[in-house]
Homo-oligomer: A and B are copies of this chain.
Amino acid sequence: MGNIIVGQSGGPTAVINASLAGVFKGGKDNNIKVYGMINGIQGLLEERFVELNKEIKTDLDIELLKRTPSAYLGSCRFKLPNIGENDEMYEKIFSILEKIDVDKFFYIGGNDSMDTIKKLHTYAKDKDKNVQFIGVPKTIDNDLAVTDHTPGFGSACKFIATTIKEIIKDATVYDAKNITIIEIMGRNAGWLTASAAITKSEDCNGVDLIYLPEVHFDIEDFVRRVKKLQKNKKSLVIAVSEGIKNKNGTNICEIEEENTILDSFGHKSLSGTAVTLAKILQRNLGCKTRAIELNTTQRCASHCMSEVDINESFLAGVYAINLAMKGESGKVVVFERTSNAPYKMDMKAHDVYDIANFEKKVPINWIDTENATVKKELIDYIKPLIQGEVYPIMVDGLPKHLRLEREKY
| A76: chain B residues within 8 A (beta carbon) | 174-175
Contact B170 A69 (CB under 8 A): yes
- Indicate if A302 sits at the interface (CB-CB under 8 A): yes
- Cβ A166 vs Cβ B286 within 8 A: no
Whether A169 lies near B401 (C-beta < 8 A) is yes
> Please, which residues of chain B bring their CB within 8 A of the CB of A279?
261
Chain B residues with Cβ under 8 A from A407's Cβ?
Answer: 172, 205
- A254-293: which residues lie under 8 A (CB-CB) from chain B? 258, 261-265, 271, 275, 278-279, 282, 286-293
Question: Which residues in B have their C-beta under 8 angstroms from that of A111?
Answer: none
Question: What secondary structure prevails in chain A residues at the interface with B?
Answer: mixed
A306 partner residues in chain B, CB cutoff 8 A: 397
Report how far A299 CA is from B169 CA in the complex, Å. Answer: 11
CB distance from A346 to the nearest CB of B (A): 21
A165 CB contact (under 8 Å) in B75, B271, B275, B398: B398
- Asked if residues A396 and B403 are in contact (CB atoms below 8 Å), the reply is no
Contact A173 B397 (CB under 8 A): no
Asked if B166 and A302 make an inter-chain contact with CB atoms under 8 angstroms apart, the answer reads yes
Query: Assuming the A-B contacts A162-B399, A383-B396, are A296 and B290 also in contact, with contact meaning beta carbons closer than 8 angstroms in the complex?
Result: yes
Question: Could you tell me the distance between the alpha carbons of A165 and B399 in the complex, rounded to whole angstroms?
Answer: 8
**B-chain residues with CB within 8 Å of residue A167 when the two chains form the complex:** 296-297, 300
Query: A158 to chain B: which residues have CB within 8 Å?
Result: 397-398
Which residue among A165, A278, A282, A389 has the maximum number of chain B CB atoms within 10 Å of its CB?
A165
* B residues near A297, Cβ cutoff 8 Å: 163, 166-167, 292
- The number of chain A residues touching the other chain, given as a range, is 35 or more
A52 at the interface (CB under 8 A from B): no
Nearest chain B CB to A311's CB is how many angstroms away? 14
Residues in B whose Cβ lies below 8 Å from that of A199? 398
> Taking the complex as formed, is A70 at the interface, i.e. its CB lies under 8 A from any CB of chain B?
yes
Query: In the complex the two chains form, is A43's CB within 8 Å of B169's CB?
Result: no
Task: Give Cα A71–Cα B162 distance, bound, in whole angstroms.
Answer: 17
* Smallest Cβ-Cβ distance to A163: which chain B residue: B297
User: Please, which residues of chain B bring their CB within 8 A of the CB of A386?
Assistant: 397-398
A-B CB contact pairs (8 Å), 14 listed: A12-B170, A69-B169, A71-B173, A74-B173, A165-B401, A167-B300, A177-B264, A198-B397, A201-B396, A261-B279, A263-B289, A264-B282, A264-B287, A293-B295
Not counting A162-B303, A199-B398, a sample of 10 additional A-B residue pairs whose C-beta atoms are within 8 angstroms of each other reads A70-B172, A70-B173, A71-B173, A162-B398, A163-B303, A165-B398, A165-B401, A172-B407, A203-B403, A391-B391
